[in-house]
Amino acid sequence: MDRRPMSFSYKYLPDVAIADAAFAVEADSWDELFAGATEAMTVVMVSLADLREDIVRELEVASESVDQLLYDWLSEIVYLKDTEGLLVKSADISVTAANGWRACGTLRGDRVDRDRQRLGQDVKAVTYHLYEVSHDGHRCHAKIVLDI
Amino acid sequence: MDAKPGMRVPARILASPAIFEAMDDGVFNQVTNVATLPGIQQHALCMPDGHWGYGFPIGGVAAFDLECGVISPGGIGFDINCGMRLLRTNLTFDELQPKLAKLMDNLYSLVPCGVGSKGSIRLTDSEFREMTTMGVKWCVKRGLGRPEDPDHIEESGCIPEADPDQCSAKAIHRGLDQLGTLGSGNHYLEVQVIKPENIFDHAVAQSLGLVIPNQICVMVHCGSRGFGHQIGTDYLRSFAPVMARHGIVTTDRELACAPFATPEGRSYFQAMNCAANAAFANRQVITHRIREGFAKTFGKSDLEIGLEVIYDVAHNIAKIERYPVGGVDKDLLVHRKGATRSFGPGQKQLPADYRDIGQPVIVGGSMETGSYLLVGTQEAMDVTFGSTLHGSGRTMSRTKAKHMIRGETLRQNLLDRGIAIRTASLAGLAEEAGFAYKDISEVVATVHDLGISRRVISFLPIGNIKG
């Protein structure tokens, strides 16, 4: 898959989950929203600048709704972190809605290496706490709390 | 306060006036949400270290009828059997201090921690499944513990009705090489000293083998790692259609639940018990590595150093326990999320040598302010379904904490105070600064004054490993 320029923004929400990590992300499209949420979650775990893009991996996730799809997508990224040691630096994602919702993407990232990476907190799980995924007619939005 | 629509029982928050005033609104909202769940008995509780969680508040305790009640992953947490283990040594501070830096280096190399850390033991799928049914006994069989270690662990480190067939392949795969790892967040391994002035109950301290002035102990806080986290994720997701089928409506998706007396409810219980056993085994493997680290540092065997388990207890779990309800003894499913069992003297579930003093309750504090050991009481059996606090409780978000101090500054400040830190994440260290937590002494004083557990000892940190 060719790499496309991504346009998304996210900010961390310090007062939403005092023991954990929360962020809000927005983008022009679902593709970009998913990429932005993936990056925001990675930044909780590691400094993005310290990650290489040596590892390239395909990922496909299907779910019954777009909000469940984002939950499942991020949960899969957490799973890959624990089982393959993969920290995702960038993700080129295509989100489609035909016979259910589907996200297909190319993940580029690095293995965990605490000798050359500034690590943050390990993400245990994506939660449904205050979980929101929406489209306001112009932009896509999500609010996500991660269990730390 | 007025009752929330749908509340089946009252909600009770145990706190001093000052702690109550400082609690965030989320606690009140969440503990009253818990009170709406089907089959809840007597009251929904929150301990004084409570704060906003997911579904249940942290510090939440609730008991459910086995026939008409529910089981909720949100009442247990993703980190199933996150818990505490306390070890004693026969070393004194003066004996240890000259070798503290070397000891911390050795422990840091032996106990992996931080993002994506892997343990030194790689299990096959079948070995992992066996471990989840045997818990600490599996470790002892593999030479990763002493035969007497299970004697001083809740449920002897092996909870029955654990069925790995109820755990997804993903959950098992996620846990395969994480045995013996700390994780990150607020998990830690801490070397501590007991100052003579910090012993509040000498008779109980003596019963626990804590008799040497300035004695060194080791405390471990961690849980079931990715295996438990995946079980929580899997079942939280799968319970939505179960709730719809049974007409259960909750105000919070994190309160997803299933009737306990259904195949789905029982399946989660059996998977959760696997994760609980894996967490006991995880703390056991870490204990084995701690023994190796002390032996290497001091050139003596761990037996000579007297590294023995005082106790190990869960604070994220659901268990079937028996309590009087309306004058009749009844088996209940007690959920504890950030709350510790606090069984009083005489309970048959306690080790024989602790039956006169009550169950040890290990309360972790911040790496700056220290931790506590308490014992359970009859009042806890009468009032809180045999439960008490689990820690000091956060008051400040992680983001705010790391904006207030840099990790390197905090590490140097602690070193200047004689506390050696080893960490996989300086940012993570800053997030765990002492000012981000409530005053542990005030929180402990609250449960002591309420009588739901009794203060025995406080520990001062001298070395801390944080993921």
Query: Could you tell me if A133 lies within 8 Å of chain B, comparing CB atoms?
Result: no
- Quick check: is A47 in a domain? yes
Q: Which of B58, B43, B39, B59 is nearest to B11 (CA)?
A: B43
In a domain, B75, yes or no: no
In a domain, B212, yes or no: yes
Residue B73 in domain: no
Partner-chain contact A18 B24, CB within 8 Å? yes
How far is it, in rounded angstroms, from Cα A116 to Cα A122? 17
A138 lies in some domain? yes
Q: Considering B152, B390, B403, B448, which one is annotated as catalytic?
A: B390
Residue B422 domain-assigned? no
Give me chain A's average pLDDT, please: 94
| DSSP strands (E only) in B296-442 | 308-314, 316-325, 328-337, 340-341, 360-363, 371-376, 387-388, 420-423
Residues β-bridged to residue A63: A101
- Rounded Cα distance between B87 and B97, Å, is 18
Question: Does the beta carbon of A126 lie under 8 angstroms from any beta carbon of chain B?
Answer: yes
Q: How many residues does chain B have?
A: 467
| Residue A4 pLDDT | 58
Residue B181: Cβ within 10 Å count: 26
User: Residue A73 has what pLDDT?
Assistant: 98
Burial class (CB in 10 A: 0-12, 13-18, 19+), B186: buried
In a domain, B403, yes or no: no
* B116–chain A Cβ distance below 8 A for any pair: yes
How many domains are there within chain B? Answer: 1
| A50 lies in some domain | yes
What is the structure's pLDDT at A98? Answer: 87
Strands of B128-285, DSSP E: 188-194, 215-222, 258-259
Ranges of residues in chain B with a pLDDT under 50 are: none
Q: Answer yes or no: is B428 within a domain.
A: no
Neighbours of B98 (CB within 10 A): 9
Confidence of residue A18 (pLDDT cuts 50, 70, 90): confident
pLDDT tens for each residue of B29-54: 999 999 999 999 999 999 999 998 99
CATH number of the domain where residue A128 is located:
3.55.10.10
pLDDT for A3 equals 56
Q: Quick check: B126 contacting A, CB < 8 Å?
A: no
Please state, in angstroms and rounded to a whole number, the distance separating the CA atoms of residues B307 and B288: 10
B202 is catalytic: no
Q: Answer for the pair B429, B423: CB distance below 8 angstroms, yes or no.
A: yes
Q: Can you give the pLDDT at residue A1?
A: 43
Residue type, A21: A
Residue A1 lies in a domain: no
pLDDT digits (tens, 9 = 90+) for B311-344: 999 999 999 999 999 999 999 999 999 999 999 9
Q: What is the pTM of this model?
A: 0.96
> Would A96 be classed as within a structural domain?
yes
CATH assignment at residue B326: 3.90.1860.10
CA B185/CA B398 separation, integer angstroms = 10
Coil, helix or strand at residue B347:
coil
pLDDT digits (tens, 9 = 90+) for A104-130: 999 999 999 989 999 999 999 999 999
Contacts of B184 in chain A (CB under 8 A): 119, 121-122, 148
The pLDDT tens digits of the residues spanning A39-49 come to: 999 999 999 99
The domain in which residue A128 lies consists of: 8-147
Inside any domain, residue A2: no
Q: Is residue A29 part of a domain?
A: yes
B77 domain residue, yes or no: no
* Domain assignment present for A3: no
Facing residue for B114 by CB, picked from A13, A119, A126: A119
- How many distinct structural domains can be found in chain A? 1
Assess if residue B78 is contained within a domain: no
Q: CA-nearest residue of chain A to B252?
A: A129
